[in-house]
Structure 1
Amino acid sequence: MQLKGKTAVVTGGSDGIGLEIARHLLAAGAEVIVVGRDVGRLAAALAEGFDTITADLSDAAGCDALVRELSGRDIDVLVNNAGMGATFQVGVPFDVGEIDRCIFLNLNAPIRLIAGLLDGLRARPEAMIVNVTSGLAIAPSGKGPVYCGTKAGLRSFTMALRAQLAGTRVHVMEALPPVVETRMTEENRHRKMPAAECGRQIVAAMAGGRNQANIGMTAVLNAVYNLSPAIARRVMIRY
């Protein structure tokens, strides 16, 4: 895809992977609308040259408000990157409200935004939807069942959506990052990919028109899974 001159919306774009995707899109000549809920980080994004929209996508009202805000604008690229984790572990107290927000933000929100913006995307000469899932969408970790479940659901939705939009002007890409250095992974002791490199690889895959971008160690996991799903699941469930 030719990114220069395109208008891209990046959810969760004021921090972490989303911010780095936004930066690389901007460097490629795109106009970038960063969506987030932290006013301070959005102000910093505005100072970098991004357009910004404040939105909380963890409920239906926030998603609907964003679709209304974007109404009438020519959007060429939608990057569904916003996401969060939620604690669900036997013997450990957990917050059901947090679990509901995680499910909505990670899975419901991308579907609602695509549904709300799809007609506009289909009217563009060239358009793209990018859903950011995770290597854990291929094979889950026992430490994060809710997060893994939402990302696996989004992966399945992405594949089915790509089949539905085959032959149209809307390209559907899935990006599967490994563990990346972000605020969400601060307590994760595994080796992490720098967010800037992850963002660079995702945008390069977008420019290359790829269907699936297996980033970093996710490429190894995907290869193992293709060889033996049982081995991949056995390894990752303890990850």
Structure 2
Amino acid sequence: MKPSGNTILITGGGSGIGAALAHRLHDAGNTIIVSGRRRQALEEAIAGRHNMHAVPLDVEQPGAIADFARRVVAEHPALNVLVNNAGIMRFEALDTARDLTDAEETVATNLLGPIRMIDALVDHLAAQPDAAIVNVTSGLAFVPLVDTPTYCATKAAIHSYTVSLREALKGRIEVIELAPPAVQTNLTPGQATRPGYQPLDEFADEVMALLSQQPTPPEILVERVRFLRFAEAEQRFEPTLAQLNEMARRARGA
């Protein structure tokens, strides 16, 4: 991925990982478009920054994504990088029948959202120089957190989808996966100050260092996520699963 001179769309760019990366990529000399559901958060993210633009979007709505893509391409024809970052994480109990609203909304946002966004922009991106798609997954794509099963399943699905996409677009669009560890953001209640989670600025700085490598690695893996990413390959999946879930429950006081 070219380090500067890009026009980059970041979904979920109003807060958390999306906003942190938007600011650093902007500082590196890129034009940034942030999208998300909350207009106020988007406006705060771009405040005082030339060449940062905010366009509200709810990725759960298929029609909204198609309309959004047409608008963004019309207003920013140089758009050449898409970062699929928007996501939600909900706690769910699997041991009894329940209302499936949380699960369905998670699939719509975390899985169908990126698929629809890629579909809406792939032809445009393929015609641009130095085009790239960055899909944000999670270390939980590789070792799941039992209390957030649908979130983990959607991230595992996007990991697999990204592998297929990389092969399908080889030579036309660079496809990169960014798999964060547990990071101090507002993704879940209390997470922004939870001990043991990676500070957001530290994470974003590490990601930028990895993105600056040439060639850019197909998987952006900060040091803290590697014990999840390679648990199965290193034949320690079961103990890692137990350790992860015990640590997470202790951190939440559950």
TM over 0.5: yes
Distance in 2 between the 1:106 and 1:233 partners?
22
Q: Cα offset for 1:237? A: 5.2
Residue of structure 2 aligned with 1:113, choices 117, 133, 151: 117
Shift in Å, 1:119? 1.0
Structure 1 segments of 4 or more deviating over 3 A? Answer: 90-95, 185-190, 229-239
1:32 correspondence with 2:32: yes
Aligned pair count reads 238
SS of the aligned residue for 2:233 comes to helix
Partners of 1:173 and 1:206 within 8 A in 2 = no
Q: Does 1:200 align with 2:211?
A: no
Q: Does the residue aligned with 1:33 lie in a helix, a strand or coil?
A: strand
Which one scores higher on RCO, CA 8 angstroms, separation ≥ 6?
1
8 Å contact kept, 1:18–1:199: no
For residue 224 of structure 1, give the secondary structure of its aligned residue in structure 2: coil
Structure 1 unaligned runs (5+)? none
Identify the match of residue 218 of structure 2 among 211, 223, 226. 211
Q: Which amino acid aligns with 2:33?
A: I
Contact 2:57-2:65 at 8 Å conserved across structures = yes
The aligned counterpart of 1:16 is 16
Q: Which of 184, 189, 195 is equivalent to 1:186?
A: 189
Task: State the alpha-carbon separation in 2 of the partners of residues 63 and 229 from structure 1.
Answer: 40
CA distance in 2, matches of 1:93, 1:42: 37
Paired residues for 1:170-181 under 5 Å: 170-181=173-184
C-alpha distance in 2, partners of 1:145/1:86? Answer: 9
1:93 CA drift (Å): 8.4
Establish whether residue 100 from structure 1 lines up as the match of residue 104 from structure 2: yes
Distance 1:114 1:203, change over 3 A: farther
User: Which moved further from structure 2: 178-187 or 20-29?
Assistant: 178-187
Structure 2 partner of 1:165? 169
Distance 1:82 1:132 in 2: 8
Whole-angstrom CA distance in 1 between matches of 2:162 and 2:57: 23
Per-residue deviation, 1:150: 0.5
On the 8 A contact 1:193/1:216 being kept in 2, the answer is no
CA offset at residue 68 of structure 1? 1.9
Q: Which residue of 1 aligns with 2:58?
A: 56
Q: Find the residue that maps to 2:134 and give its secondary structure.
A: strand
Whether the 8 Å contact between 1:87 and 1:99 is mirrored in structure 2 is no
RMSD of equivalent CA atoms: 2.0
Distance 1:220 1:121, change over 3 A: same
TM-score normalised per structure 1 = 0.91
Contact 2:10 2:35 in 1 (8 A): yes
Superposed CA offset, 1:43-78 (max 9, x none): 212313221101111221332222122233221110
CA contact 1:59–1:101 (8 Å) conserved in 2: no
